[in-house]
Amino acid sequence: MAVRRPVAAATALVLVLEAAGFLLLNWILSIVVDRQQMSLAGLRPGAMAAGSWAGGAVCALFLLLCAAVLLRAAARDRAPGRLGRIGLICCAVLHGVLGAVAVGLLGWPAFGAAMVVLALLVLNLVAYGDEGAGAASVDGAAPGEGTAPGGAPA
């Protein structure tokens, strides 16, 4: 499929930009919490600011890891490994949940942006998903076993 490489590279670029956005947003939130001396249930404002920054950093690192998996897939034009696919699936689920939350809190444009990223991730998973399909049949036989000439069942 000729479209796999550009889509994987574009998705990786979008994920890198999104990681930068997550870092920026959480950095701003930590500054706001720290300067306004906000507190929730007796937590210190400094602890809340550090938690906001750490949460944004963890999410950004996860998005950068997913972007690296997609860049490697684009460079090799091969499907990511099992762990890489699991990471991409988790990233897609994250974007689905973020889209559901964003529609209520931020509105339809934020929902649309989350769904575009979700669509790109799913497109990558589907585009690279057919490579292992011929490895074994449903009953566990090797390809070609139990089939007549022409691929019909024996």
Collapsing DSSP to helix, strand or coil, 19 comes out as helix
Give pLDDT, residue 146. 53
Contacts of residue 113, Cβ cutoff 8 Å, sequence gap at least 6: 102
Classify each residue of 65-75 as buried b or exposed e, where b means 16 or more C-beta atoms within 10 Å of its C-beta.
bbbebbbebbe
Give pLDDT, residue 133. 47
One-letter amino acid at 134 equals: G
Please calculate the CA angle 3-8-81 and round it to the nearest 5 degrees: 115
Model pTM above 0.95? no
> Rounded to whole angstroms, how far apart are CA atoms 46 and 49?
5
Give pLDDT, residue 138. 47
Q: What is the pLDDT of residues 133-154, one digit of tens each?
A: 444 444 455 555 555 555 556 5
Give pLDDT, residue 46. 84
Closest CA to 67 of 53, 88, 83, 93: 88
pLDDT averaged over 10-residue windows placed end to end, the chain, 154 residues:
86 96 91 81 84 92 96 92 93 93 92 94 87 48 54 58
Collapsing DSSP to helix, strand or coil, 42 comes out as coil
